[in-house]
Amino acid sequence: MSSALITASLFGLVLLIITGFIVSIVFERRRNVQALARQTHIIPTNPRTRVLLHPQDGLMVYAERVPQTSPSSSPKSLLHVSSSWYTRRGTLVSLSFLIMLLLTLFVQSGLADGALQNITRTFSFLSATESTDYLTATQLQAQAQAQGTSLTASQRIVRVDSAAENQYYNAYQWDVWSYSSCSGIAMEEVMNAYGKHLIAADVLQVEQNLGVWNSYIGLITGEKGIAETAAYFGFKASPNPPRTLQALIATANKGYPVIVGVPDHILVVRGGNSEYVYLVDSAPADQTTVTYAQFLNEWNNFSVVLTPA
């Protein structure tokens, strides 16, 4: 596909050059026609001049003047262009055809495709980096309207900052709970992506009441604690969560964000590609993109998929 695109582009470029060459000839012809028209108005009405003199002694003297023919008065062709003009433009057209031929051979040999793949890979990386920026609610709504479809939970999920004071009921919770709030915020982010309107304290309070979390060590009972807390809010945990990186990314890309665990922290995977994993991280570090190797080095196979019951 890329080879055909390059060939078509080069062909279009040469056509533009040839068109410019033809337009130049037309304008040159028009200038010559106008110059010839101006010359025809300078031709004298009487090419010969006769003079009769009548001297007082009765003699008559006859004189005749024949005008000199100047080279400029000779007729010209309707299109007179110097040979150097043709030489310059002919060389330009020839070089254009030669360049197109060489680049076409380059494309067909497969070298161009390799170069384009590198360029495409670079742009894909930049696009992947840009896609990790989280959108505001207004931007998400505008994007959904533009697409004419509903966004998935993985696309709607919005990061929550664990240090934000408005995520807690009071100053004490903000001062004490915020350091171990990652499990509650991960659930908050996922459930809000499905339409809930929770803050961190809503979820953390339920975790504390159920005895699956405390402010000193965070989540106590692992995946089971996540499932019990989510059930209180009308969500269920998948009985078969993804246990491989490929399955985890595939699940998130289908629209189901996955809560995962790493040492001393819980966060959400919202998608990925063949090289990177896209994260939603409530910690101050706010990791958004990590490589496969980085993720596998930290992930402890803890994973929970929540969906409305």
The HSE-up count of residue 127 (CA atoms within 13 Å, CB side) is 8
Check whether residue 30 and residue 111 sit in a common domain.
Answer: yes
Check whether residue 118 and residue 241 sit in a common domain.
Answer: no
**C-alpha closest to that of 93 among 14, 32, 153, 5:** 14
Check whether residue 161 and residue 272 sit in a common domain.
Answer: yes
How far, in whole angstroms, is CA 199 from its chain's centroid? 35
Helix or strand run (H / E) with residue 24: helix 2-40
Residue 252: give its domain's CATH number: 3.90.70.10
pLDDT for 72 equals 45
Check whether residue 104 and residue 165 sit in a common domain.
Answer: no
Tokens encoding 80:
């007179």
pLDDT for 15 equals 75
DSSP 137: H
Check whether residue 244 and residue 283 sit in a common domain.
Answer: yes
Distance (Å) of CA 116 to CA 121, 182, 208:
8, 42, 55
pLDDT for 110 equals 44
pLDDT for 58 equals 44
CB burial readout 222-253, b (16+ within 10 A) else e: ebebbbbbbeebebebeeebbeebeebbebbb
pLDDT for 294 equals 97
Distance (Å) of CA 264 to CA 109, 227, 254:
53, 19, 28
- Burial of 138 from C-beta contacts in 10 A (0-12 / 13-18 / 19+): exposed
Return per-residue pLDDT of the chain as tens, 309 residues: 455 666 677 677 767 777 776 777 777 777 766 766 665 554 444 444 444 444 444 444 444 444 444 444 444 444 455 556 556 666 666 676 667 666 665 555 444 444 444 434 333 333 333 333 334 444 545 655 565 568 999 999 999 999 999 999 999 999 999 999 999 999 999 999 999 999 999 999 999 999 999 999 999 999 999 999 999 999 999 999 999 999 999 999 999 999 999 999 999 999 999 999 999 999 999 999 999 999 999 999 999 999 999
Pairing of strands 289-291, 276-280: antiparallel
**Which of residues 131, 149, 172 is at a domain's end?**
131
Check whether residue 88 and residue 108 sit in a common domain.
Answer: yes
CA–CA distance, 138 with 189 (Å, rounded to integer): 17
DSSP 56: T
pLDDT for 77 equals 44
pLDDT for 67 equals 47
Tokens encoding 124:
């894909």
pLDDT for 133 equals 37
Contact residues for 245 (Cβ-Cβ < 8 A; gap 6+): 277, 292, 295, 296, 299
**Which of residues 96, 115, 131 is at a domain's end?**
131
pLDDT for 279 equals 98
Check whether residue 7 and residue 102 sit in a common domain.
Answer: yes
Q: Domain of 127? A: 1-38+82-131
In a domain, 198, yes or no: yes
Amino acid (one-letter) located at 174: W
